[in-house]
């Protein structure tokens, strides 16, 4: 069940219904079709070598990163969960936010010409931090729009340590996210892909009111 609440200058869609697995699988299906993505299969040797290659470029040697992070390589997405199946640390809501986050990377890569984006992302920690900051911003939008609460910008930025980002990178991302929160809390949808996702989720949640 959902309820639209209009505040002065701010449009909220308060979502108080519990997500069901189909919300997540459908959202992933729609986003994957729109952006031409696929989910990597870690049991497939070709996919596994693609993942290992990408991690090596980023200087990531800790294999446990794959248990805790979703990572996008071009249009291929590695996930530590199966969409629609809630597991510890990956609730259905987390899986919705992750879907938008990863597809934001895909959309950006397209905008910046894939190869160059992927190379810069993988080999330069400051660029990587910037691109991650933008993707974290989409999560803040969803959290505010549907839960009226947000993650702590600094805590989000600190996740970038696992991505081999340095202190300066992390403080830059913290700053970007804190500044973004001002407009997000006024209802801003900062980019087309977030707009698309919110339109879809608004309709989905509104449709489940019965
Ligand atoms: Zn990311």
The pLDDT assigned to 98 comes to 96
Q: Contact, 25 vs 83, CB < 8 A?
A: yes
Quote the domain boundaries for residue 34: 20-200
The predicted structure's pLDDT at residue 207? 62
Q: How many residues does the chain have?
A: 210
Query: Is 23:96 a contact under the CB 8 Å cutoff?
Result: yes
Cα atoms found within 13 Å of the Cα of residue 12, Cβ hemisphere only:
16
Contact in structure between 192 and 152 (CB atoms under 8 Å): no
Q: How far is the CA of 9 from the centre of ligand 1 (A)?
A: 30
Evaluate whether 182 touches 93 at the Cβ level (below 8 Å).
no
Residue 56 lies in a domain: yes
pLDDT at 62: 83
Q: How far apart are CA 171 and CA 161, in angstroms?
A: 11
Number of domains in the chain: 1
Distance of CA 50 from the midpoint of ligand 1 (Å): 17
Measure 119 CA to ligand 1 centroid, in angstroms: 15
Residue 12 CA, ligand 1 centroid: distance in Å: 26
Q: How far away, in angstroms, is 70 Cα from ligand 1 center?
A: 7
- Please return the burial class of 21, using the count of CB atoms within 10 Å of its CB with bins 0-12, 13-18 and 19+: middle
Task: Find out whether 15 and 2 touch, Cβ atoms under 8 Å.
Answer: yes
Strand order in the sheet with 76-78: 38-39, 76-78, 71-73
Q: For residue 183, tell me if it sits in a domain.
A: yes
pLDDT, greater one: 19 or 208: 19
Q: How far is the CA of 117 from the centre of ligand 1 (A)?
A: 13
Does residue 169 lie in a domain region?
yes
Q: Which two tokens stand for residue 88?
A: 């510890």
Instruction: Find the 132 Cα to ligand 1 centroid distance in Å.
Output: 5
Of 113 and 65, the structure prediction assigns the larger pLDDT to 65
Q: Give distance in angstroms: CA of 160 to centre of ligand 1.
A: 9
**What is the pLDDT, as a whole number, of residue 60?**
82
Nearest to residue 153, comparing CAs of 145, 162, 144? 144
Lowest mean pLDDT segment, chosen from 12-16, 113-117, 162-166: 12-16
Mean pLDDT of 32-36: 96
| Å from CA of 90 to ligand 1 middle | 15
- Separation of CA 101 and ligand 1 centre (Å): 6
Mean pLDDT of 41-63: 88
Tokens standing for 53?
A: 């290659």
Mean model confidence pLDDT for the chain:
86
Top-confidence residue, 28 or 146: 28
What is d(CA 205, CA 15) in angstroms, rounded to the nearest whole number?
Answer: 7
161 within some domain: yes
Alpha-carbon dihedral 182, 197, 42, 47, rounded to 10 degrees: -100
More reliable by pLDDT, 59 or 43? 43
Q: Which residue has the higher pLDDT, 175 or 110?
A: 175
2-13 mean pLDDT: 40
Question: What's the pLDDT score for residue 110?
Answer: 83
User: Looking at the domain assignment, is residue 179 inside a domain?
Assistant: yes
**pLDDT of the residue at 208:** 56
The answer, yes or no, to whether residue 9 has pLDDT greater than 50, is: no
- First-to-final CA distance of the chain: 7
What average pLDDT does this structure show over 22-50?
A: 96
Task: Specify the pLDDT at position 63.
Answer: 78
User: Would you say residue 9 lies in a domain?
Assistant: no
Name residues whose C-beta falls within 8 Å of residue 59's C-beta, 6 or more positions apart in sequence. Answer: 164
**Tens of pLDDT, residues 71-118:** 888 899 999 999 999 999 899 999 999 999 999 999 988 887 666 777
Q: What is the pTM of this model?
A: 0.86
In whole angstroms, give the CA distance from residue 55 to residue 33: 26
Residue 13 lies in a domain: no
Question: Domain for residue 2, yes or no?
Answer: no
In the reported structure, the alpha carbon of residue 110 is separated from the centroid of ligand 1 by a whole-number distance in angstroms of 15
């Amino acid at each position: 069940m959902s309820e639209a609440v209009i505040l002065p200058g701010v449009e909220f869609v308060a979502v108080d219904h519990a997500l069901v697995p189909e919300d997540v699988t459908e959202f992933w299906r729609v986003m994957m079709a729109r952006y031409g993505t696929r989910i990597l299969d870690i049991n497939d040797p070709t996919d596994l070598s693609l993942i290992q290659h990408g991690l090596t470029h980023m200087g990531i040697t800790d294999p446990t990163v794959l248990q805790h992070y979703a990572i996008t390589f071009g249009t291929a997405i590695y996930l530590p969960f199966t969409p629609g199946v809630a597991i510890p640390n990956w609730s259905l809501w987390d899986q919705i936010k992750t879907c938008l986050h990863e597809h934001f990377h895909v959309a950006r890569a397209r905008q910046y010409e894939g190869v160059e984006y992927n190379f810069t992302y993988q080999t330069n920690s400051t660029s990587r931090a910037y691109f991650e900051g933008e993707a974290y911003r989409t999560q803040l939008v969803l959290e505010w729009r549907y839960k009226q609460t947000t993650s702590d910008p600094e805590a989000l930025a600190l996740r970038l340590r696992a991505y081999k980002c340095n202190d300066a990178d992390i403080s830059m991302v913290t700053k970007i996210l804190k500044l973004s929160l001002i407009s997000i809390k006024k209802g801003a949808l900062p980019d087309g892909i977030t707009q698309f996702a919110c339109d879809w989720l608004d309709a989905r949640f509104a449709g489940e009111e019965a």
